[in-house]
Amino acid sequence: MKGYYFITDSRLSRAGNISDVMEAAACKVEAVQYRNKNAETRVMYEEALHL
């Protein structure tokens, strides 16, 4: 795969994963790896739906 690969990190994000992914998409990333180790499963599921 050529291009950029973006990995979310809720611990480092100031604006949140959704905002970070939207910015990464605007920069033409090829793939996104969603990670949120501190959230409950339901929260991760709902957040991932918005991505």
Question: pLDDT tens digits, residue range 1-50?
Answer: 688 999 998 889 899 999 999 999 999 999 999 988 888 999 999 988 98
Task: Please give the pLDDT value at position 30.
Answer: 93
φ/ψ of 20, rounded to 5, equals -60, -40
- β-partners of residue 31 are 5
Task: Please give the pLDDT value at position 42.
Answer: 95
DSSP H or E run through 25: helix 17-26
- Of 6, 15, 3, nearest to 34 by C-alpha is 6
Task: Please give the pLDDT value at position 3.
Answer: 86
Task: Please give the pLDDT value at position 31.
Answer: 94
